[in-house]
Amino acid sequence: MTIQECVVESIQRAVPELEASVIGEMLEIPPDKKMGDYAFPCFRLAKQFRKAPALIAQDVAAHLKEEDLFEQVEVVGPYVNVFVNKEKIVELVRDAFASQEQFGSSQEGEGKTIVLDYSSINIAKPFHIGHLRTTAIGNAIHKLYRYLGYNTVRINYLGDWGTQFGKLAVAYRKWGNKELVEKQGIQGLLDLYVRFHKEAKENPELDDEARAAFTAMEHGDEEILSIWRWFVDISLKEVAKVYELLDVQFDSYKGESFYMDKVDAVIEELKEKKLLQESDGAMIVDLSDADMPPCLVLKKDGSSLYTTRDLAAAIYRKKTYDFYKCIYVTAFDQGLHFAQFFKVLEKMGYEWSKDLVHVPYGLVSLESGKMSTREGQVVFLQDLLDEAIAKTKEIMQEKNPDLENLDEVAKQVGVGAVVFNDLFNNRIKDVTFSWNKVLNFDGETGPYVQYTFARASSILRKADYQTFRPEDMKGEYLTDAYAQDLLKIIEEFPKKVHEAAERYEPYIITRFTVALASSFNKFYHENPILSAEQEELRNARLAMTKMVTTVLKTGLSLIGVQAPEKM
């Protein structure tokens, strides 16, 4: 049982008329530690017991004073403030940690599949810092749900179809050079894409050529399709390097093109269910009853759209994976698109449409303004990661030139700094990218947490204390304020994991690791570990240190950041 569950159980014995869940909702944590570990307000009981809240508080306190769980119970007006027995806190956290490396995990998701659609890069366009958000958030959500026992299916829904390929095909025919594109890779394709948009401003007919080229693709024009396949190959080879650096993997790379032969069936189904209507030559689904604009399903020329392919993909995924939830991690500004296509599926009679979830995130802009692939105004993610690794290596060569595996550790810390920074705030918050901020390793950063883990690991190596021994955690040696604060933070970890998964908010874990690292550093500075005056005291503190390394490593892994043992 958690500390809070024990407190709730004790209060329920004092007030048996209340359900445990109600007591849990009423329980508060005082703003000042001097006021107790928990406070139980009695206002809402006045009507039920026909008594003044302050008198009810005195009755509850009288019962709680008989409980071994508390070392002190105080009445402050209508509040009952309780101080939990410090040795009992040690015992509770020690017992909760029995599963060690699996602490905070569960089997609640057993037999349930979560499909995650994230990263979803656009072929023939650079993997830039804007894509880091969907990739890092999606990867963390996958890890959180996997840790809670769910089967997760990671899908990189490639943007490998659409009018942009018509634009690229036209640009390549007019200005392209096969050898140069092979040599330059994605940069070469980006140059062609940027040039197309510059030229199209002066010559709008180019847009008509691009639309015609894409329509030809959809009708099987082999010349354009061969160029398209080549662009796809070039793109996947390049992005594979970034995914390798991020240590991100996928179970499927089925992109929009995979669903092209499944679109007609969706159109037919929409017609059969009398949902499809003509509007100015295009085909739509009316959503006015849901207070939304109409959902465009086919263009005037009969070409499919993003929505058409998304409908086909959702139906395919339900049939293939029978998901419990299908989660889409994309930018906030795509909210209407997802609301529309979820509603269309509901109108089609698919009861499981309620299991589709859009997880939006804020946009990334540059200090110089909004990013634009068309204008070539982007920061390549590969460049950012390389720069972070180089800076980290430089710092480490100054501070620890004899470090083993310097290059590998620099990669773990440099990449970790970038990912940690991206996941530090609520995902819906817009982000202004700053080289200085991302590569600043001081304060609440990934390198700070990693360094704390490495420091704690060093202590354990010196003491040859590699296996957690519950019997070492004797309560009488861990009653000081720093040990108690650390124990209370550790105990919160399972709740934080569950909350982060339930809310699709990795930052909850990111911030938790900072709080845990900060608390351990205070504990470490105030409590000598290796030089403790008694062996039992030393072992108790070593057991705590081992607990911290285990939870820090797990927390970092859940947000896709590695934990090097030496830095």
The predicted-structure confidence for 45-73, as pLDDT tens digits, reads as follows 999 999 999 999 999 999 999 999 999 99
* pLDDT value of residue 195: 92
Class of domain 3-84: alpha beta
In which order are the strands placed within the sheet that holds 151-155?
151-155, 113-117, 325-331, 356-361
Least confident of 82-86, 213-217, 450-454, 550-554: 213-217
User: Can you spell out the DSSP letters for 201-269?
Assistant: HH-THHHHHHHHHHHHHHTT-HHHHHHHHHHHHHHHHHHHHHHHHHT---SB---GGGGGGGHHHHHHH
Q: DSSP of 18-41, one letter per residue?
A: S-HHHHHHH-B--SSGGG-SEEEE
Least confident of 238-247, 315-324, 375-384, 536-545: 375-384
DSSP-derived secondary structure letter, 469: -
User: Measured between alpha carbons, how far is 487 from 519 in angstroms, rounded to an integer?
Assistant: 9
* Catalytic residue set: 125, 128, 131
Q: What is the pLDDT of residue 373?
A: 54
> Which of the two residues, 381 and 93, has the higher pLDDT score?
93
**Which one has a higher pLDDT value, 433 or 512?**
512
Q: Give per-residue pLDDT as tens, 289-301.
A: 999 999 999 988 8
151 beta partners: 113
The whole-number pLDDT of residue 375 equals: 57
Angstrom distance (rounded) from CA 415 to CA 393: 12
d(CA 359, CA 139): 13
The answer, yes or no, to whether residue 382 has pLDDT greater than 70, is yes
Over residues 213-229, the mean pLDDT reads: 89
Question: End-to-end CA distance of the chain, in Å?
Answer: 36
CA distances from 464 to 402, 467, 473, 545, 546 (A): 22, 9, 17, 12, 11
Question: Does position 435 have pLDDT exceeding 80, yes or no?
Answer: no
Classify domain 383-558 at the CATH class level: mainly alpha
- What integer pLDDT is reported at residue 126 of this predicted model? 76
Give the pLDDT of residue 190: 86
Side chain identity, residue 214: F
Which class for 493: exposed (0-12), middle (13-18), buried (19 or more C-beta within 10 A)? buried
CB–CB of 388/409 below 8 Å? no
| CA distance to 60, 155, 157, 274, 309, per residue, from 253 (Å) | 60, 6, 6, 33, 15
Is 374's pLDDT higher than 60?
no
Q: Mean pLDDT, to the nearest integer, of 204-219?
A: 90
Residue ranges of domains in the chain:
3-84, 113-258+323-370, 383-558
- Locate 201 and state its tokens: 């401003």
Model pLDDT, residue 146: 98
Q: What is the pLDDT of residue 302?
A: 80
pTM for the full predicted model = 0.92
Domain 113-258+323-370 - what CATH class? alpha beta
Looking at residue 198, what is its pLDDT? Answer: 92
Q: What is the largest CA-CA distance in the chain?
A: 87
pLDDT in tens, 505-514: 999 999 999 9
The pairs formed by 233-241 with CB atoms below 8 angstroms and a separation of 24 or more are 234/124, 234/181, 234/182, 234/185, 234/186, 234/189, 235/121, 235/123, 235/124, 235/125, 235/186, 235/189, 236/123, 237/185, 238/127, 238/185, 238/186, 238/382, 239/121, 239/127, 241/382
List beta partners, residue 74: 81
Q: How confident is the model at residue 161 (pLDDT cuts 50, 70, 90)?
A: confident
Q: How confident is the model at residue 371 (pLDDT cuts 50, 70, 90)?
A: low
**pLDDT-derived band at 434, boundaries 50, 70, 90:** confident
The pLDDT of 253-262, averaged and rounded, is: 92
Task: To the nearest 10°, report the CA torsion of 210, 181, 126, 444.
Answer: -170
138 against 437, higher pLDDT? 138
- Residue with the bigger pLDDT between 400 and 340: it is 340
Does residue 481 have a pLDDT over 80? yes
Angle formed by the axes of helices 381-399 and 222-246, nearest 10°: 20
Q: Are 143 and 109 in contact (CB under 8 A)?
A: no
